Amino acid sequence: MRAITVPQPGGPDALAWVEVPDPEPGPGEVVVDVRASGVNRADLLQRQGHYPPPPGAPDHPGLECSGVISVIGPEVTGWAVGQQVCALLAGGGYAERVAVPAGQLLPVPAGVDLVDAAALPEVACTVWSNVVREGRLRSGETLLVHGGGSGIGTFAVQLGVALGATVLATARSAKHPRLRELGAAHVIDYREQDFVEEVRRVTDGHGADVVLDIMGASYLGRNVAALATGGRLVVIGLQGGRKAELDLGALLTKRASVTATTLRARPLAEKAEIVRGVRDEVWPLVEAGEVRPVVDRRLPITEAPQAHRLVESNDHVGKVLLTIG
């Protein structure tokens, strides 16, 4: 089969569409013939040599895909050849075929196109596990989503609204109209405005009950300042660095918490548990049309370098998909 590989770490042109060995399904795995794969920020880091795949994962990038099951491996029950699926992957989605642990498969939700389904697994699993499970967001609360126009952000805004929260988001101003369409109650231009002041102003001083953060160090102090009493800050990205000082007194008086998680490195059993939670709690919202895949663009997989340039520029809103065949 062919796959996008990274013979030498580097810029977008380091991505090469070449012949590689076909995947063999191990016990508990199926093979999916890939129809589309989502581009994630982490793929850019992997291409640059900063984010090696975890042990056992394919070398080539791709953290999610959609497609059709073509082989059922040993010890797999409940799935059939020919079934349309999407899947959370530890790697290898930028390829014609990929072996997937059955616990990381999801059916394509009713009403969602097979290609667009590739936009869902990574964001649905990341956002649900961090906002609902770690952040314990409840109806009536306020959720602040940083990077509202990202793949993660566009999903988090919709999920927060569907769960009955008031959603605030940060983004550059060009992305504000789209975020309002997705249900954000207030959008903050983080380049021009102080998001802490804005959050306090629009919540009448209450603050955000949950903050979903992708910046890390550069936002840590301000995120804690924006939290409500009893608030939960969940860090999932380190685009603003990994080391910062924190005034624990500010956390203490607010009885607030800071959590940080990553999905890719979790053991298989934990990923499978998150995928089950997404299927039970998020898929009904997708099928009801309350949460939809937000796809900025589809590009043929041979244009993967262009897709990486687009994501690097941050000019996209939602997900960029690579299509195969």
Residues that bind ligand NAP (CB under 6 A): 40-42, 122, 126, 146-147, 149-153, 170-172, 175, 190, 214-215, 236-237, 239, 261-263, 311, 314
C-alpha 312/C-alpha 48 separation (Å) is 12
Q: Please, which residue, 61 or 73, has the CB nearer to ligand NAP? A: 61
**24 C-beta neighbours (distance < 10 Å), count:** 10
Q: Please, which residue, 99 or 145, has the CB nearer to ligand NAP? A: 145
Least gap, CB of 88 to ligand NAP (angstroms): 10
Least gap, CB of 68 to ligand NAP (angstroms): 25
Q: Please, which residue, 97 or 264, has the CB nearer to ligand NAP? A: 264
Handedness of CA 32, 33, 37, 43 (dihedral sign): positive
C-alpha 147/C-alpha 232 separation (Å) is 18
Q: Please, which residue, 163 or 236, has the CB nearer to ligand NAP? A: 236
| Strand 29-38 versus strand 84-88 pairing type | unpaired
Angle in degrees, CA 37, 43, 47, rounded to 5? 125
Least gap, CB of 252 to ligand NAP (angstroms): 26
How far apart, in Å, are the Cα atoms of 230 and each of 170, 176, 248? 22, 29, 14
| Strand 29-38 versus strand 16-19 pairing type | unpaired
Q: Please, which residue, 137 or 215, has the CB nearer to ligand NAP? A: 215
Least gap, CB of 259 to ligand NAP (angstroms): 11
Least gap, CB of 117 to ligand NAP (angstroms): 17
Least gap, CB of 24 to ligand NAP (angstroms): 27
Q: Please, which residue, 148 or 207, has the CB nearer to ligand NAP? A: 148
Angle in degrees, CA 21, 113, 76, rounded to 5? 50
Exposed, middle or buried: residue 249 (CB in 10 Å: 0-12, 13-18, 19+)?
Answer: exposed
